[in-house]
Amino acid sequence: MDLAQFGARPDGGVNRQALSPEDIAGRAQFITWCEEQGYACSSDAVGNLFVRRAGTDPYADPVLTGSHLDSQPTGGKFDGAFGVLAGLEALQALDDTGIITRRPVEVVAWTNEEGSRFQPGCMGSSVFIGATGMEDILGCRDRDGVLVADALAQTLAAAPNLPRRSMAFPIAAYVECHIEQGPILEQAGKTIGIVTGIQGYRWFAVEVRGQEAHSGTTPRRAQKDALKAASAMVNALETLMIDESDTLRFTIGRFEVEPGSPNVVPGRVFFTIDMRHPDQAVLAARAAAVEATCRAAAGTCEVTVTQTFATPPIAFDGAVVDLVAETADRLGLPSMRLGSGAGHDAGYMARVCPSAMIFVPCEKGISHHPAEFATSADLAAGTRVLADMLADLANR
């Protein structure tokens, strides 16, 4: 609730977009809470924040938990924030119970998980593991033309005393708490989601270029109307993405028309594609047809289709997934296994260390919306599973 004040929206939601002044302020508050608890904070070159609780062996690979502090522009209080603060709560629980671990335990707040202001998403975690290069992201711009390089420099400069941390350091295991962002747990009456994996997803950026013209004087057969071409592409894509089983996900979240004047034939349209599926073969086959589908509907306009984000379906580590299940059982919490429809930083961590996620229900499955809500009891239950798992994993 306190963190939600940073970027608070009048409708109860949160707008704390990556590397924004609101994100910078929220990060500073989080660091203050950590330092008040006596933990050392550090940051790597892409702004990932690390909070370390020492173990008896300072050289042992740490166990990590965490999530992200950035939000969607019309986000909720819990997406990302829960996982970061659950990590801090778990560290405090280890302190309160006097549990000593061999391995250090660290909480991480990954930079720009959402990919809303700057694409791609999971920017901090994918750069950390080396799946994306710094040079690939520093030149990304937001809608106002602001570079990641500049917004990142401002973010790092706002916490000048944070020691720098290397990237890709070895990690023993990673566990992330997150709200489900779907209705499955609530409908099944379960408190804990034992997340088995994350579906694959692809993002595309499509630019359609026509010709501005006078809406009154230009014959329609001579017009190169980028909006009408883009609309034809959207309808053709909708047909391409038909799936009677309703497993395939397809969203056009951004659709910009230029110059946006009532009496000028649109000369340019930019739109985004977000498509997802748990089966790599289905995802790859549909994604492979996107460009041709757009070209076929372009008419007299030009079109450029760029894939901006691609991550395959991933399965989490069986032993860590089973530990989520065993811990929930031991704590007497009703649980079930499920896959994640939403993407998470854990998807990248799974490429470098044994990883898993703990879900808790959110009301009606609403997320990426100001009405996003989870109960204190469910959030506390997820945090208890996390604290138990961290104590266990950090003594292996």
Residue from 22, 70, 114, 225 touching ligand HGY (CB under 6 A): that is 114
Stretches 75-83, 250-258, 264-272, 280-288: which one binds Mn ion (CB under 5 A)?
75-83
Query: Would you count residue 342 as binding ligand HGY (CB under 6 A)?
Result: yes
Burial of 259 (0-12, 13-18, 19+ CB in 10 A): exposed
| Binding partner at 44 among ligand HGY, Mn ion, none, C-beta below 5 to 8 Å by kind | none
Tokens at 323, concatenated: 């530990």
Residue from 70, 113, 180, 345 touching ligand HGY (CB under 6 A): that is 113
Residue 282: count other Cβ atoms within 10 Å of its Cβ. 16
Query: Would you count residue 76 as binding ligand HGY (CB under 6 A)?
Result: no
Residue 268: count other Cβ atoms within 10 Å of its Cβ. 20
Determine the Cα–Cα distance for residues 80 and 2; give it in Å rounded to an integer: 14
Torsion angle in degrees (nearest 10) through CA of 383, 386, 392, 394? -110
Q: How far is the CB of 261 from Mn ion (least distance, A)?
A: 34
* Buried/exposed 164-196: b ≥16 CB within 10 Å, e otherwise: ebeeeeebbbbbbbbbbbbebbbeeebbbbbbb
Q: Are 266 and 257 in contact (CB under 8 A)?
A: yes
Name which of 338 and 390 has its Cβ closer to ligand HGY.
Answer: 338
Query: Would you count residue 198 as binding ligand HGY (CB under 6 A)?
Result: no
| Binding partner at 80 among Mn ion, ligand HGY, none, C-beta below 5 to 8 Å by kind | Mn ion
Query: Would you count residue 266 as binding ligand HGY (CB under 6 A)?
Result: no
Stretches 78-86, 206-214, 252-260, 331-339: which one binds Mn ion (CB under 5 A)?
78-86
Name which of 55 and 115 has its Cβ closer to ligand HGY.
Answer: 115
The interface mask with ligand HGY, positions 287-326, x = CB under 6 A, is ----------------------------------------
Query: Would you count residue 104 as binding ligand HGY (CB under 6 A)?
Result: no
Stretches 21-29, 113-121, 125-133, 255-263: which one binds ligand HGY (CB under 6 A)?
113-121
The 3-state secondary structure of 61-84, one letter per residue: CCEEEEEECCCCCCECCCCCHHHH
| Binding partner at 104 among Mn ion, ligand HGY, none, C-beta below 5 to 8 Å by kind | none
Q: Are 51 and 39 in contact (CB under 8 A)?
A: yes
Determine the Cα–Cα distance for residues 354 and 62; give it in Å rounded to an integer: 12
Q: How far is the CB of 121 from ligand HGY (least distance, A)?
A: 5
Distance of CA 366 to the CA centre of its chain: 16
Name which of 113 and 186 has its Cβ closer to ligand HGY.
Answer: 113
Query: Would you count residue 121 as binding ligand HGY (CB under 6 A)?
Result: yes
Query: Would you count residue 75 as binding ligand HGY (CB under 6 A)?
Result: no
Stretches 1-9, 77-85, 102-110, 194-202: which one binds Mn ion (CB under 5 A)?
77-85
Q: How far is the CB of 337 from ligand HGY (least distance, A)?
A: 19
Query: Would you count residue 79 as binding Mn ion (CB under 5 A)?
Result: yes
* Buried/exposed 75-108: b ≥16 CB within 10 Å, e otherwise: bbbbbbbbbbbbbbbbbbbbeeeeeebebbbbbb
Tell me the pairing of strands 40-43 and 49-53: antiparallel
Residue from 104, 267, 343, 370 touching ligand HGY (CB under 6 A): that is 343
* Buried/exposed 347-384: b ≥16 CB within 10 Å, e otherwise: bbbbebbbbbbbbbbbbebbbbbbebbbeeebbebbbb
Q: How far is the CB of 309 from ligand HGY (least distance, A)?
A: 9
User: Per this entry, what is the length of the chain?
Assistant: 396
Determine the Cα–Cα distance for residues 203 and 283; give it in Å rounded to an integer: 11
Q: How far is the CB of 107 from ligand HGY (least distance, A)?
A: 19
| Binding partner at 22 among ligand HGY, Mn ion, none, C-beta below 5 to 8 Å by kind | none
Distance of CA 277 to the CA centre of its chain: 16
Determine the Cα–Cα distance for residues 227 and 207; give it in Å rounded to an integer: 11
Size of the site for ligand HGY (CB under 6 A): 5
Name which of 113 and 176 has its Cβ closer to ligand HGY.
Answer: 113
Could you list the residues that contact Mn ion (CB under 5 A)? 79-80
Could you list the residues that contact ligand HGY (CB under 6 A)? 113-114, 121, 342-343
